[in-house]
Each structure stands twice: as C-alpha cells, then as structure tokens.
Structure 1
C-alpha cells in the first residue's frame, strides 16, 4: 500500500477548494490534454531542430514549419483560456458549473480537428501556408470563437444572477479580457485567411501571406492577461491584495493592445509602422505596470513565510521572463513578444501543477516538478547565449521528459481526498511514498 498525503488540505478546509467533477472536469482536462500534445509535438520538433538532429528534407522536418501554429494557436489558447477557464471559472464565480457546455464541446472538436489537419499538412509537405494549413487555421478560428462565447456567457450570466455583487478576482478578469480580445481579433484573422484561400484558387489577388505568425500580437495579449490571472491565482488562498488596480491594468492592456494591433493590421506603409511603434510602447507600459503589481503581490506572499510550492516557482519564472523581455524591449526595441511567448510555457506548467495539486486534490511528484522547473529555467537562459542553443534545446527536451514522467506518475496514483485526510492507493512495488516530497 502507498500512503499519499493531500498536498494542500487547507484549500478544502477553508471552503475554497474547487470541485473538478462533472462535465467541466472532462472538458477542461481535454483542453489541457490538447495543449500538452501540441506542445510536445511542436516543442519536440524545435528541440531536435535546435540540436541539429533533423535532416533537411525529411518527413519530420516538415513539422518544423508548423511549429509557430502549434505553439501559438494550439498551446496558449487551449490551455490558458479554454482549459483553465473551464476548470476554474465555476469556482471563481461561485457557480455550480459552466453554461453552454455543448458549445464548448463543439469548440474542442473544431480546434482538435484543426490541430490534426495542421500536423497532417506539415507531414505531407504542403507547407505552413498551403491550403491544408489555411483550412486548419479556419477551423481553429471557428472553435476559438465558440469557446470564448461559452466563457463569456458564463461570466456575464453569473453577474446578472448574483444577489451579492462580489468583485471579480484577477483570474476572472484575465479570462474575461482574454476571451474578449480573441472574440474581436479572431474574425479579423479569419477574414485574412479567407482572402488567402480565395487567392489560392484565383478568385482574388492578395500579395500578403497570412500565417500563425501574423496573429502573434493578440496571442501575446492573451499570454499577458491570462498569464497574470493564473499567477495571481497561484496564491489566492495565501496573499491578500486589492483587485481594482489589477483590473484597471488588465483592462488598459486589453484595450490599447487590441486597438493598436487592429490599426497595424489594417493600415499599410508609414501608418502601419507608426501604429506598430505606438502599440509596442503601450504594451511595454502596461507590462511594466502588471509586472510591478504582481511583483509587489508576490513579495507580500513571500513575506508570509509560505513554502515555495511548485506553482509559485513557475509563477515567479513567468514574472522574471516577462520582466526581462520588458527590459529588452526598452533597451533594444524588441524582445517583449518573444518573452511573452516563452512565458506562456511557465504559466501553463504552473497552472497545470496548480490544478493537479492545490485546487484539484491530485498527487504529483513535486521533486520531479521542481527538477523540470530548474531545467526549464537553465534552458531559457542558454537559448539566448551565443553558441549554447543546442545545449539549451537539449535541456528543454529533458524538462519535457520530466513533465511526461510527472504526469504519468500522477495519473498512476490518481485523485486524493480533498478533506486533508490520508488517501490510500495500491501500488505493485509495495514502496511507501508521500505526495509532498516524492
């Protein structure tokens, strides 16, 4: 017999634990599984390419062209918005569940079909801008719009039906603003894709080629908004802070970022260059404000003498990466968008371990999760050191293996009781282990 202790019994005893039973649990876990698969495929190809192990012209080398689409479209949004939103919004809004689960399920099917088609188009050699890739991104657009509608309907309905007007938590603000940004920006992206599809059959003449990279601006906003919401959620049961400054910064980030992206997307020539410069400056200001607020909050949490749990480590990593990107943007005029895309990895991993342990009552090997964090942090530094990109890619691959092993061990032991009592789980080896330090 194996004795495993709950990793955060105080969450349930304080009444703040979230139940992950029912349709929402299945949908949320499916969204996260989709993001994990896309990350392993896209990230794995990037790791082997960075190590020089992919021969040019091979079948697997074609997946390297799909790397931007897999990481931007099928990791960030399914995990940070759809997955964590489906899992945590009912508890954060004090509701019994999500609305429009059928719509959410349809969205999951469309996005999954888009990812399969993206991988198939890459393996067939049609390229990242061929007809198959365009159709895949259109499926992603349709699924993302439906998923955002399901999230926003749940949030707005909870506000309309609530007798007591509770303030939204930073997590709810992050999910609501991220879904709003996507709901407004995705149709513009889809319109460009339709024009490109019509141009491919000779109906229209379009000079600009549209790919997943052209949607990096709104994805960066989603990482910033949803990422900070997840970071604040990592110590929601420990620290105390005022939600109003956080909400104002998030709203300003969403509004200014979306307007400047739309202006740069629709303008051309000198107007586009001016809009891009203004958008970069506004995003840098909003990022600095958000990092400052989150840093002060984390400092207060650290002064509370809380042990550095695994999700907090990933949250701090997210803040450090985004802060370094902001400094690079300030000094060199570039780097923030790249930092936000890399920071998405820290936010997703931290949110995953938060779901498994503190909020879900599931066991996972914390030592292995900490090792994954260390490997990821060292790899993040090395990829920016000249001549060390291959070693950094190898460490990213090792961190991915640690993540796979942690997930496998966690699934083996299963769920724990959320009452703080000891849960019993059989194991064939007869060894004794504890969830808190395994």
Structure 2
C-alpha cells in the first residue's frame, strides 16, 4: 500500500515538481542571504545565525540538485521519462517546504523535516539510478554518480541527524515544560560541519561536470565514482562513528583530510585536466564551473596550509555551481541562448562577490555585488522569456499561414 503510494505519479508533471524544488532552493537562498546582511535592521542573534546556517547549508544545494536537477537530468541520462518513485519526491518536497516554514520558530523541527524530506528524495534517486539504468555502471556519467553518492550519504546522515536533533530537543526542555530559547549554535555548527561539506561538495562537483564539455575517455569519468563515494559515503560514516566513539583531534583532522580534502583535490585535478584537453570546445556556461572551482580551491588551500576553515568557500562554490546549472536549465527550457558576454560577465561578477564576501573587510562590497548578481538572473529571465514569446508568436503565425 505504501509502496503503491510512493510509486504513483502526482497530479502534476515531474517537470513541474523539479521547478518547485528549484523555486524552494531559490527562496531559501534569498532568505538565508538576507539574514546574513549586517545592515538589515536587526541584531545578529545566535538564533538568526543558526537559521542562516541551516538555510544555506541544507535547504539550497540538496533540494536544487537532487530534487530540481535530479528530476530533469537523471531520467534523461538513464533514458527514462521520469524517476521511478515520483510520489516519494513529492512527499519530500512537502516536508522540505514545511521545514523552511517552521525554521524561524522551531529550528530543530525544521531540521527533522529536512532529514525526513531529503531521505524521501534520496530513496527516489537511488531506486531510479539502480533500477532504471540500462547501461553498465562504468558508463554512468559523473553527474549520475554524484546524485547516487549524495543520496547514499543522505541515507547515512539523515537518521543520525534526526536522532541527534531529537535528543537535543528533549534535553532543551526546561523543568517547567517550556522550550529553552538559547541553543548551542557553535557546538551544533561544529558537529554538522562534516556532513554539510560532503552534501554540498559532491553534488556541486557533479553539476560542474555537466557544465564542462564532455569528451570520450575523460579522466573525470574514471575518477568520479571513487572520489564521490569516499566523500559522500565514507565521510558521513566516519562522522557517525565519531559521534559515539571519542577520537583525538589529530585523528579527526586526518579523517577530514582523507574523506573531504583528498577526494576534492583529485576531482579538481581531473576537472582541470579535462577542461584543458577540451579547452577549444568550452562554452560560456563553463565559466560558472570555472568560478566554482576557483572558490573551492580558495577554501581548500588555507585548510591544507594553515588549518583554516573551508566551509564558507565550499558553500559559495557549491552555490555558484547551482547557479550555473540554473543558467543552463533556463536556456534549455526557453529554447533560447543568453549572449556570451552576459553569461561570462555574470559568472565573473558572482565569483568576485563571493570572494569579497570571504574577506571580512570587503564583506559589505561582496554583499552588494551578490545582490547585483541576483538582478542579473532577473535580466537573463527577461531576455529568455522575450525570446520564447517571439518564438511562439512566429510558430502561431506560421501555423495560421
């Protein structure tokens, strides 16, 4: 009975469900960006910092890639009309959107809803990738591997995260039955950093592979299954073990380097090698992938040399990769093409704004540039909408003749 409900198709198409996921990720990203503005007229409290971190780390990349691009690109990569469990993805969207609504007042409930919703989407991705494929595993594209690895990582992370948040919520109950307002924000951020980075990095690298020109015998085709598996599956497994088994700081650092830094460096090297080999066939959309690689390198370099945190740079790089995928999706759905100069300048502006946001003294300028980047997406949408309307009018006039 339950399986039939998950397997049944929703009342609207899978394409509309993918659009709903993309809009949810866009809304979460805008809301999280507004909460980070220093001059927005409110004081930066621990609760606001927690909401900002949850929105940007959990409700942007995973819904956009697994729920949005996964609904569009995964069936196309496997030769299917849609995913095999669309009802599960529909249920996941309902839970994730409810999580965004509950976040300002009940952040722990929001995380629980994220865990349940992302688990539903992950089940749909895993079943579709394993049961719907008509080719060998070695022939799967890096993007499919990134979706499969991220979904497996969510299956590992979500139950543990739900149990940890439930325990934290029960422990936060005061003696009179009221809810304690102050939450250990910094401690929660440190605990969740490993799965956050894994669930942002792997799908972003998969999207970057889609933005770069594909070539036969590419190095990323051979490296992606191993790098994505280590980062998205082995990393969360070691993170789960560290929650119950005490380890030394050196051991935790070595685990982080082995499950996050090493796979990322290997994939970055493979992507740069393939990009150089196909440099003459690079499209304008590839500049978004190049910017994302530059931001990720800016994060992993200080982490390796001086032990600084790489989370902000990885987050910006992942979001830029999602923006590049959104750019490509807009062109595909509208049937038009954005002018090359606009695509390149928009990608450069977004990368510059992200780099400025990483430096505290230039954070104000970075936020302004990122705001202009959002307006750039509006301009792109207007251009493509105008071209689509002109194309439809030409088709109607041709049909009338």
TM-score higher than 0.5 here? yes
Q: What residue is the counterpart of 1:261 in the other structure?
A: 239
Relative to structure 1, is the Cα distance of residues 296 and 110 closer, same or farther in structure 2, using a 3 angstrom cutoff? Answer: same
Q: What residue is the counterpart of 1:9 in the other structure?
A: none
CA contact (8 A) 2:212 2:289 kept: no
CA contact (8 A) 1:252 1:286 kept: yes
Tell me how many residue pairs correspond in the alignment: 375
Distance in 2 (CA, whole Å) between partners of 1:350 and 1:341 is 14
Shift in Å at residue 223 of structure 1? 2.3
Relative to structure 1, is the Cα distance of residues 241 and 408 closer, same or farther in structure 2, using a 3 angstrom cutoff? Answer: same
Q: What residue is the counterpart of 2:8 in the other structure?
A: none
Structure 1, unpaired ranges of 5+: 1-21, 122-131, 417-422, 427-438
Shift in Å at residue 299 of structure 1? 1.0
Q: What residue is the counterpart of 1:16 in the other structure?
A: none
State yes or no: 1:180 paired with 2:165.
no
CA contact (8 A) 1:104 1:150 kept: yes
Shift in Å at residue 413 of structure 1? 4.5
Relative to structure 1, is the Cα distance of residues 164 and 152 closer, same or farther in structure 2, using a 3 angstrom cutoff? Answer: closer
1:89 to 64, 74, 85: 74
* SS of residue paired to 1:333: coil
CA displacement 1:231-263 (0-9 Å, x = unmatched): 111235566515222222222323432233223
Of the structure 1 ranges 244-253 and 362-371, higher mean CA displacement relative to structure 2 is found in 362-371
Relative to structure 1, is the Cα distance of residues 42 and 165 closer, same or farther in structure 2, using a 3 angstrom cutoff? Answer: closer
Q: What residue is the counterpart of 1:334 in the other structure?
A: 308
Relative to structure 1, is the Cα distance of residues 41 and 153 closer, same or farther in structure 2, using a 3 angstrom cutoff? Answer: same
Structure 2, unpaired ranges of 5+: 1-11, 395-401
CA contact (8 A) 2:213 2:275 kept: no
Relative to structure 1, is the Cα distance of residues 196 and 386 closer, same or farther in structure 2, using a 3 angstrom cutoff? Answer: closer
State yes or no: 1:66 paired with 2:51.
yes
2:384 to 397, 410, 421: 410
CA contact (8 A) 2:93 2:117 kept: yes
Q: What residue is the counterpart of 2:63 in the other structure?
A: 78
State yes or no: 1:362 paired with 2:338.
no
CA contact (8 A) 1:217 1:337 kept: no
Relative to structure 1, is the Cα distance of residues 278 and 164 closer, same or farther in structure 2, using a 3 angstrom cutoff? Answer: closer
CA displacement 1:271-299 (0-9 Å, x = unmatched): 15244212222121221111101110111
2:92 to 107, 118, 129: 107
* SS of residue paired to 1:97: coil
Q: TM-score with structure 1 length normalisation?
A: 0.77
Q: What residue is the counterpart of 1:43 in the other structure?
A: 33
Shift in Å at residue 224 of structure 1? 2.1
CA contact (8 A) 1:260 1:279 kept: yes
Q: What residue is the counterpart of 2:139 in the other structure?
A: 167
- Structure 1 segment 389-404 matched on structure 2, within 5 A: 389-404=363-378
State yes or no: 1:293 paired with 2:255.
no
Relative to structure 1, is the Cα distance of residues 412 and 115 closer, same or farther in structure 2, using a 3 angstrom cutoff? Answer: farther
Q: What residue is the counterpart of 1:25 in the other structure?
A: 15
RMSD value, Cα? 2.9
Relative to structure 1, is the Cα distance of residues 318 and 290 closer, same or farther in structure 2, using a 3 angstrom cutoff? Answer: same
Q: TM-score with structure 2 length normalisation?
A: 0.84
More contact order relative to length (CA 8 Å, sep ≥ 6): 1
Q: Which has the higher helix share?
A: 2
Q: What residue is the counterpart of 2:397 in the other structure?
A: none
1:306 to 281, 304, 309: 281
CA displacement 1:177-213 (0-9 Å, x = unmatched): 0000011111101001111222233599x99667466
* SS of residue paired to 1:96: coil
Distance in 2 (CA, whole Å) between partners of 1:99 and 1:234 is 26
* SS of residue paired to 2:361: coil
- Structure 1 segment 191-340 matched on structure 2, within 5 A: 191-201=163-173, 211=188, 214-237=191-214, 241-242=218-219, 243-268=221-246, 271=247, 273-282=249-258, 283-302=260-279, 305-309=280-284, 311-340=285-314
Relative to structure 1, is the Cα distance of residues 87 and 164 closer, same or farther in structure 2, using a 3 angstrom cutoff? Answer: same
Distance in 2 (CA, whole Å) between partners of 1:237 and 1:244 is 13
Shift in Å at residue 364 of structure 1? 5.9
Give 4+ residue runs of structure 1 displaced > 6 Å after superposition: 163-166, 206-210
